[in-house]
Amino acid sequence: MSMQQDFANDYGRNVASLKALVKGLSHNETIVQPPFNANCMNWVLGHIVGSRDGVLALLGEKPLMSSEHAKRYGYGSAPVCEDGPDLLTLDAAMALLERSQERLAAALQRATQADLDKATKSFLGDTTVGNMVLVMFGHECFHVGQVEMLRELALKK
């Protein structure tokens, strides 16, 4: 199995985990604010989709999120504290996540080793596309873990 297929499979496992974690939750349950300084599930899900857009861009693909949503869920954006028209609904976030997986898997299948070895600049400094795909996977895993805890919080409210 190629590294590209491994990446696609690993990202796919995260989608499966997220689908299981949000099963049975309502949109309103995803905006329950933790009692400590952290983002709610809605923000985390939108942030994951936005981060995947960054991986898609590295692989030459167009983003799925609107520029407004990308800004709303981007690093350093204000926490989601209440429902509003600028938020993705739970259903919309999950639909974008599933579409991102389809596009990410296809882009990874097309990627050659030379594509992954290509130099790129990032918040890490000079690196390669393949390294950033891996770094962003680790970032996503961190947020999937947050969703597990935020699910417990939502179910207790």
User: What pLDDT, on the 0 to 100 scale, is given for residue 36?
Assistant: 83
pLDDT tens, residue by residue, 2-14: 888 999 999 999 9
User: What pLDDT, on the 0 to 100 scale, is given for residue 108?
Assistant: 97
Q: Are 93 and 45 contacting, i.e. CB atoms less than 8 angstroms apart?
A: yes
Structural tokens at position 105: 């898997």
User: What pLDDT, on the 0 to 100 scale, is given for residue 157?
Assistant: 63
Q: Kindly give the parts of the chain with pLDDT less than 70.
A: 157
What global pTM score does this model have? Answer: 0.95
* Long-range CB pairs of 79-87, under 8 A, 24+ apart, other chains included: 79/33, 79/39, 79/40, 79/43, 80/31, 80/33, 80/39, 80/40, 80/42, 80/43, 81/31, 81/33, 81/40, 82/31, 83/27, 83/28, 83/31, 87/31, 87/42, 87/46
Enter the DSSP assignment of 66: -
- Distance from C-alpha of 62 to C-alpha of 39, rounded to nearest angstrom: 27
Domains and CATH numbers, the chain: 3-156 (1.20.120.450)
Q: Are 47 and 142 contacting, i.e. CB atoms less than 8 angstroms apart?
A: no
